């Protein structure tokens, strides 16, 4: 009998990944923290709020009780926003089996302290569990709709990596690339959110394709610098979780981080923009943490610094642009 997988987090992306697993025929359990929401998902057999056009495959089961969601599967995939990631780890800890394997597709850094999520998992749950991270250019709606998509998967355990890849990879529409670099794969997915806010702001200010592309390129440079300082392989940032996700979120309005930046560039307040979007905007939470991490590592991140100044010190978008353009002349 095939082993089930449990997806924890029934937002747009958790639901899309659960659909991807179950569409491949693997028994998949999907848990959400809101019992009413879970009842609705189970009743309607689709996620009307986030993915209204996609019916759940038969292999997808909604589970409202966290204990049974955890205990029924050896493999867990956590897909909650980064600011509640640590809380969810604490909630699952009492229910974990000794043979459990834990993956996540959350893109962000630890709330407040700004560490990689792997450090949070290891600190909370210990170092005995095989771990894996999924990250790459994957808008939930397109993934759920079965449109061609590719992603990176990195793990500290080869068997777990290969088994997870085999379950979610689908030769018709979903390519899953294995990557050896857990640090780089985590970091790329987290920091691109901040750069996508910058690209959105640039477009919101009415700047053109040149400015947007310069931000993507220099954004990639600052992500790579930070990654290398943490021990990542620079080559990782040329892949799905670096360049891939950066281009996706900086250029397409499905990205909530980009839309958030667009609104700021057009003069909307951060709080109003968050309310309008009505879903998680990871970069909003993670800019502060990224700044803290960069400072700890002694890494210069000029674009991130400007986004931080805009979000938390009221700097005007036009002043940010002036500050970036007016930096000292330097080599590429
Ligand atoms: N939506 C997308 O296209 C993609 C999202 N991601 C990442 O997936 C993660 C989850 O984002 P989305 O699903 O898009 O968010 P979403 O905004 O669609 O939904 C957030 C979900 O988190 C749940 N939640 C809130 N507080 C919670 C708590 N305390 N415990 C458990 N669940 C809680 C909410 O009920 C909601 O279902 C984020 O890190 C995001 O960056 C990654 C790739 C694509
Ligand atoms: O990470 C994503 C796609 O890969 C989704 O981006 P947003 O969170 O900006 O919507």
- The catalytic residue positions are 192
For the cut 90, the answer to whether the pLDDT of residue 282 exceeds it is: yes
- Work out the average pLDDT over 61-87: 98
Q: What is the pLDDT of residues 205-230, one digit of tens each?
A: 999 999 999 999 999 999 999 999 99
What does the pLDDT read at residue 166?
A: 96
For the cut 90, the answer to whether the pLDDT of residue 1 exceeds it is: no
| Longest CA pairwise span in the chain (Å) | 63
Residues contacting 319, CB < 8 A, separation 6+: none
- 107 among annotated binding-site residues: yes
Which atom of ligand 1 lies closest to the CA of 138?
Answer: 44
Specify whether domain 5-180 bears CATH 3.10.20.520. no
Q: Report how far residue 179's alpha carbon sits from residue 195's, in angstroms, rounded to the nearest whole number.
A: 23
Which atom of ligand 2 lies closest to the CA of 245?
Answer: 4
Q: What is the ipTM of this complex?
A: 0.98
Phi, psi of 261 (to 5 degrees): -60, -40
- 285 among annotated binding-site residues: no
Q: Which of 77, 75, 119 has its CA nearest to residue 99?
A: 75
What does the pLDDT read at residue 285?
A: 86
103 CA distance to ligand 2 middle (Å): 18
Phi, psi of 28 (to 5 degrees): -130, 130
pTM more than 0.90: yes
For the cut 80, the answer to whether the pLDDT of residue 79 exceeds it is: yes
Is-contact 177 239, C-beta < 8 A?
A: yes
- Work out the average pLDDT over 2-10: 96
pLDDT above 90: percentage of residues in the chain: 98
In our burial notation (b when 16+ CB lie closer than 10 A, e otherwise), range 55-78 reads: ebbebbbbbbebeebbebbbbbbb
Q: Which CATH number describes the domain made up of 191-326?
A: 1.10.1040.10
313 CA distance to ligand 2 middle (Å): 25
For the cut 90, the answer to whether the pLDDT of residue 265 exceeds it is: yes
Q: How many CB atoms lie within 10 A of CB 306?
A: 21
Report domain extents, the chain.
5-180, 191-326
């Amino acid at each position: 009998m095939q082993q089930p997988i449990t997806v924890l987090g029934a937002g747009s992306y958790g639901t899309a990944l659960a659909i991807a697993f179950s569409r491949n025929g693997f028994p998949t359990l999907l848990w959400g923290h809101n019992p009413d929401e879970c009842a609705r998902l189970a009743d309607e057999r689709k996620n009307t709020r986030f993915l209204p056009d996609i019916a759940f495959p038969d292999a997808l089961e909604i589970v409202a009780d966290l204990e049974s969601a955890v205990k029924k599967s050896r493999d867990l995939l956590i897909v909650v926003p980064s600011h509640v990631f640590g809380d969810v780890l604490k909630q699952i800890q009492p229910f974990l089996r000794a043979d459990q394997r834990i993956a996540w597709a959350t893109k962000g850094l630890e709330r407040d302290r700004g560490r990689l999520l792997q450090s949070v998992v290891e600190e909370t749950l210990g170092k005995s569990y095989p771990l894996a991270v999924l990250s790459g250019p994957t808008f939930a709606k397109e993934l759920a709709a079965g449109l061609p998509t590719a992603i990176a998967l990195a793990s500290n355990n080869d068997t777990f990596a290969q088994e997870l890849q085999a379950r979610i990879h689908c030769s018709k529409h979903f390519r899953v690339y294995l990557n050896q670099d857990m640090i780089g794969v985590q970091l790329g997915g987290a920091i691109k959110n901040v750069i996508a806010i910058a690209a959105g702001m640039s477009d919101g200010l009415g700047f053109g394709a040149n400015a947007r592309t310069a931000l993507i390129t220099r954004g990639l440079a600052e992500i790579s610098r930070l990654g290398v300082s943490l021990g990542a392989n620079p080559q990782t940032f040329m892949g799905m979780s670096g360049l891939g996700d950066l281009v996706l979120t900086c250029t397409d309005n499905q990205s909530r981080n980009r839309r958030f930046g667009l609104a700021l560039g057009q003069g909307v307040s951060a709080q109003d923009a968050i309310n309008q979007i009505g879903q998680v905007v990871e970069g909003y939470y993670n800019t502060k943490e990224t700044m803290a991490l960069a400072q700890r590592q002694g890494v210069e991140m000029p674009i991130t610094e400007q986004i931080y100044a805009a979000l938390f010190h009221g700097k005007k978008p036009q002043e940010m642009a002036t500050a970036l353009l007016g930096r000292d002349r330097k080599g590429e």
